[in-house]
Chains A and B, each alone.
Chain A
Amino acid sequence: MSGISKRFGAVQALTDAELEVYEGEVVALVGDNGAGKSTLIKVIAGVGPADTGEIRWQGRPVHIAKPHDATELGIATVYQDLALADNLDVVANLFLGQERVRGGMLDEVGMERQARELLTSLSVRIPSVRVPAAGLSGGQRQSVAIARSLLGEPRVVLLDEPTAALGVAQTAEVLDLIDTLKARGLGVILISHNLADVRAVADRVVVLRLGRNAGEFRADETSQEQIVQAITGALDNPVTRRSAKKENP
């Protein structure tokens, strides 16, 4: 996608923003609060279409006006606040809104088998697919939410802050899952505040600042300082000042 602009009243949220993602690649989208990350994600997911700009899918221009358009193309979105129903079990949550039906009745056996296959193929460990979602840890819940997005056989998965509010071990589970998605040949767009996580899984890091592209880095060739510099837009920023203070008290 290129030249994406979006305006909310007097606020120019995005100005000519660009983002590319290829198969089997994890692109991290980083930026400070208000940089336009969420706005850009909403444009891709079809929740808040852009005012101007072009989105190309496999080289051909497409129009994404509503969430359904994005799903049709093969773009799945996993939102930050997990959309699981606590009273329903894992199978029911995975198939929520797209239940398999056989002869008018729910095909519980078929759904349970597919759920087990899906979770096993993603190496997601869950005590039983019949426990209510309320009984899962934060990492397991996030894994179930991500697994659900894969049922529609998407080509690109958008993850909005998947590791926020997770513990160390649970974060590792989710990062492993992102690696699995990448190995399956999916394009992953990851939004995160946690630069350590970003550097652990992302191939490329795209930085947004004040609604504009503020740099693009290869994750393995870039230091955290360089990314912070691009996010804040200054060599001399609170993060560098703080580390300087620590080194030369």
Chain B
Amino acid sequence: MNLLGTAKARVKSGELGAWPVIIGLVVIWIVFQTLNDRFLTPQNLSNLTLQIAATGTISVGVVLVLLLGEIDLSVGSVAGVAAATLAVLAVRHGWGDVAAMVAVLVLGALIGVLHGTIFAKLGVPAFVVTLAGNIGWQGLQLFLLAPQGTINLPYQGFIANLTHTNLPPAVGWVVGALVVLAYAAAVLVNRRERTAADLPLTPVRQAVVRIVGLAVIVGATVAVLNAWQGVPVALLILVGIVAVIDLVLRRTRYGRNIFAVGGNAEAARRAGINITAIRISVFALASFLAALGGILTASRGYSAGQSTGAGDVLLVAIAAAVIGGVSLFGGRGSTYGALLGSVVLGSITSGMFLLQLESSIRYMITAAVLLAAVILDALSRRGRRSHGRE
């Protein structure tokens, strides 16, 4: 009906949601498929999901920090030091895979507590604290890996299996169906509760469109992945983290408090929220997820090296969050944005790899996409302001 008019009004008032990114993703896919017909094959798309598992996980942690209106520049180095510690414990000291992983995750959380405490208690800007962390943890990573520089992990075992296991096709379909059913059930229960409480409901059509839309996306993903080796467990880990953290952000007091601190820290403090504890815990979570990302990286490459977590890992993790619509100004965004942004950046990396382009070109194009996303964020913020919504 009046779809075009609505779209126009939304562009002007800055309520675009994820649409520009989704359209951008479709354009990227069409371009790369035209340039190389191997791009949209099940094999390449399966590899894509494995590539984004690690950076996507790190990016979810970045989302949490961005929601506070802060930044964490140390996530790449924390991932690197986590991978190095994992390899040292599992290979040099012969720890069990699970014990080594738990130890590394605890180490990650402690690193975050350290960053968060210096930031929240001593009032040092998060930018500076985590910049020091960026350099310092990378130093520790190199120190741990000396003298070899690289420690190889065994091809068998729990760590390696994390990113080298796929679900059997039938199990993939069952998991996909359960996800859609769980979402539909949540929507139905919510509608029933709102009706019982005599609260206004969103149109039925909107609920149906959302459920069908999710079913289409999940169905297509499972079908494509099953056409190669099945749904990778690493993808399940990433989507699970995204969903759980989103639930925590939107449906718990803790998550509400994070949004409140990011929106107006003084208001949050006066409302009795312990903003110091919120800040420290968010930095702990971010470093915890960075450590998990480091574990996934090591698992995928069967090794921890000097360059694990270095290079563009930090940039990609932050860029994925920003491309996914997480505001750099705090208080706006969701973990699903990080997932979407990771798919966009992963697609670009994968497409350029197929085209055998140099990483120099890849950096420049990634930078251009990031810049476009940030400009969109700034513009939509201005739109919301002029329409009195921020």
Contact B270 A83 (CB under 8 A): yes
> In the complex, which residues of chain A have a beta carbon less than 8 angstroms from the beta carbon of B259?
85, 87-88, 92
Tell me the minimal C-beta distance from A203 to chain B in angstroms. 29
Q: Which of A110-118, A161-169, A183-191 is the interface stretch?
A: A110-118
Within 8 A of B (CB), among A12-52: none
**Contact of B194 with A87 in the complex, beta carbons under 8 Å:** no
**Distance in angstroms between the alpha carbons of A112 and B196 in the assembled complex:** 13
Check if A99 sits within 8 Å of B256, measured CB to CB. yes
Which residue of chain A lies nearest to B262 when distances are taken between CB atoms in the complex?
A87
Q: A96–B199 Cα gap in the complex (Å)?
A: 21
Question: What is the minimal beta-carbon distance from B52 to any residue of chain A, in angstroms?
Answer: 28
Chain A residues positioned under 8 Å from B10 (CB to CB): none
Q: How many whole Å from A95's CB to the nearest CB in chain B?
A: 8
- Asked whether B20 is an interface residue with its Cβ less than 8 Å from the other chain, the reply is no
The closest CB in chain B to the CB of A128 belongs to B200
Residues of chain B from 160 to 201 with CB closer than 8 A to chain A in the complex: 190, 193-194, 197-199
**A86 CA to B390 CA in the complex, in Å?**
6
Whether B123 is near chain A, meaning CB under 8 Å from some CB there, is no
Interface string of B268-280 (1 = CB under 8 A from A): 1011110000000
> Which residues on A sit within 8 Å (CB–CB) of B390?
86-87, 132, 134
A101–B252 Cα gap in the complex (Å)?
8
Across the interface, which residues of B come within 8 angstroms of A106, CB to CB? 251-253, 256
Chain A nearest CB from B292 CB (Å) reads 23
**Is A233 located at the chain interface by the 8 A CB criterion?**
no
Asked whether, in the complex, the Cβ of B271 is within 8 Å of the Cβ of A83, the reply is yes
Q: Are the C-beta atoms of B263 and A105 separated by less than 8 Å? A: no
In A89-137, the 8 Å CB interface with B consists of 92, 96-99, 101, 104-106, 108-110, 112-113, 116, 131-132, 134-135
Are B197 and A110 touching (Cβ within 8 A)?
yes
The answer to the question of A227 belonging to the interface, with a C-beta cut-off of 8 Å to chain B, is: no
Is B332 in the interface zone, CB < 8 Å from A? yes
User: Is residue A217 contacting chain B, with contact meaning CB distance below 8 A?
Assistant: no
* Residue in contact with A135 in the complex, picked from B194, B264, B389, CB distance below 8 Å: B389
A105 to chain B, nearest CB (A): 5
Complex: A225 Cα to B220 Cα, angstroms: 78
Contact between chains at B273 and A97 (CB < 8 Å): yes
**Is A84 interfacial (CB 8 A cutoff)?**
yes
- In the bound complex, what is the Cα–Cα distance between A110 and B388 (angstroms)? 28
Residues of A within 8 A of B251 (CB): 105-106, 108
Say yes or no: is B352 at the interface (Cβ < 8 Å to chain A): no
| Contact A83 B267, CB 8 Å, known A113-B197, A134-B384 | yes
A79 touches B270 (CB 8 A): yes
Residue-wise, chain A 63-89 has the 8 Å CB interface mask toward B (1 for contact) of 000000000000000010111111110
How far apart are B312's CB and chain A's nearest CB, in angstroms? Answer: 30
- Interface membership of B331, Cβ < 8 A: yes
Please tell me if B234 contacts chain A, counting CB pairs below 8 Å. Answer: no
| Contact with B194, one of A81, A99, A109 (Cβ below 8 angstroms) | A109
A residues less than 8 Å from B270 (CB atoms): 79, 83
Q: State the Cβ distance, A161 to closest chain B Cβ, in Å.
A: 16
Residue numbers in A under 8 Å from B384 (CB-CB): 134
The minimal Cβ–Cβ distance linking A136 to chain B, given in whole angstroms, is 8
In the complex, are the beta carbons of A92 and B388 less than 8 A apart?
no
CB pair B252 A88 closer than 8 Å: no
Question: Considering the chains assembled together, what is the distance between the CA atoms of A134 and B253 in angstroms?
Answer: 21
Please give the distance in Å from A94's CB to the nearest CB on chain B.
10
CB distance from A85 to the nearest CB of B (A): 3
Q: B270, B271, B272, B273: which has the most chain A beta carbons within 10 Å?
A: B271
Residues facing A in B322-371 (CB within 8 A) are 330-332
Residues of chain B within 8 A of A110, CB atoms compared: 197
Q: Do residues B388 and A96 form an inter-chain contact, with CB atoms below 8 A? A: no
Compute how far the CA of A112 lies from the CA of B256 in the bound complex, rounded to whole angstroms. 15
Residue of B nearest to A71 (CB): B272
Given contacts A83-B264, A88-B260, contact A99 B253 (CB under 8 A): yes
Q: Is the CB of B264 within 8 A of A85?
A: yes
Instruction: Verify A87–B272 contact, CB threshold 8 A.
Output: no
Interface pair B260/A96, CB less than 8 Å apart: yes
A106 to B250 CA separation, bound complex (whole angstroms): 8
- B193 in complex: contacting residue of A82, A87, A109, A135, CB < 8 Å: A109
B267 x A84 contact (CB < 8 A) = yes
Which residue of the partner chain A has the closest CB to B69?
A87
Can you name 25 A-B residue pairings with CB atoms under 8 Å? A82-B267, A83-B267, A83-B271, A85-B259, A85-B331, A87-B263, A87-B264, A87-B330, A87-B331, A87-B390, A92-B256, A92-B259, A96-B260, A96-B267, A96-B273, A97-B268, A98-B271, A104-B252, A106-B251, A108-B251, A113-B198, A113-B199, A131-B389, A132-B390, A135-B389
Given A85-B260, A96-B256, A96-B273, 11 additional A-B pairs, CB 8 A:
A83-B266, A85-B264, A86-B331, A87-B263, A87-B330, A92-B259, A96-B267, A96-B268, A105-B252, A106-B252, A113-B198
Residues of A within 8 A of B (CB): 79, 81-88, 92, 96-99, 101, 104-106, 108-110, 112-113, 116, 131-132, 134-135
8 closest cross-chain pairs (CB), A and B: A97-B271, A85-B263, A87-B331, A87-B263, A83-B267, A85-B264, A96-B271, A97-B272
